[in-house]
Copies of this chain bind each other. A is one copy, B any other.
Amino acid sequence: MAAPTGQGAPTSPARGRRVRSRASHSLESVLAGAVEILDESGAQGLTIRALAARLGGGNASVYWYVSGREELLDLAADSVLGGVLETTADVGSGDPIDDLRTISVAMFDAIADRPWLGAYVLRQTARQIHSLRLYERIGQQVMRLGLTPRQTFHATSAVVGYVTGTAADMGQEPPEVVVSGAVSREEYLAEATAQWRALDPDEFPYIHLIIDEFAGHDDRDQFIDGLDLLLAGLRLRANR
């Protein structure tokens, strides 16, 4: 009745001399298939039926490994974050704020080109074990700054909030016309900036000041620049 939603790998299915008349999955293969679909066609493209078809089985089989679509998305996001955990496994021996920066950038990179990820990352740590560990790892760097528990908690939340918020914003699912390929990404951006240029300069001085920057900006640079603002403020507080 209860599906093994936590971590347990179902007993190995890979053996058998007889030809299978039924498909055979595992939590890992289900999540891998989900991530594939998500990467290809976004969160909207991940339907239970599409996933079942990719796995070569029936729809209902997915529900053996996952309680529903929501948990599927949470776990798929969490599985990707496992990669970030590995990438940053050895971080933690340098300057605390430098280490914080390293982890944050790694996290950003993971989310940046996965538009679907932002919305499901660090949502339900009860079922997202990798997310929890990543949160812990970030918190540990902040701990080394010697602040109070309260300050440590707030600073960690601020960093996580900035990273996920900015990454989610930048990795936003493009409109369907772009996904479908009817309009190229460049055309779409050109039209957006054109619309901004048409705004009244007296009413929108800021937009007009930064429009050229916007038109040719790099998301990653922008993210890191903002992150450094936050970390500068944090360093200031730590040295007080």
Contact = CB atoms under 8 A, between A and B. Distances in A.
A180 to B, nearest CB: 14
Contact of A161 (B126, B135, B140, B162): B162
| Copies of this chain | 2
Nearest to A154: B225
A153 to B, nearest CB: 4
Contacts of A1: none
Contact of A165 (B166, B229, B231): B166
A213 to B, nearest CB: 4
B153 A226 contact: no
Contacts of A164: 165, 169
A206 B140 contact: yes
Contacts of A143: 205-206, 209
A150 interface: yes
A95 interface: no
Nearest to A165: B165
Interface in A212-240: 212-214, 217, 221-222, 225-234, 236-237
19 contacts: A122-B169, A132-B204, A135-B206, A136-B203, A139-B206, A139-B209, A143-B205, A150-B213, A151-B225, A153-B214, A154-B225, A157-B166, A161-B226, A162-B230, A164-B169, A165-B166, A229-B230, A231-B233, A232-B233
Given A143-B206, A157-B166, A228-B233, 5 more contacts: A152-B210, A154-B221, A154-B222, A155-B226, A158-B229
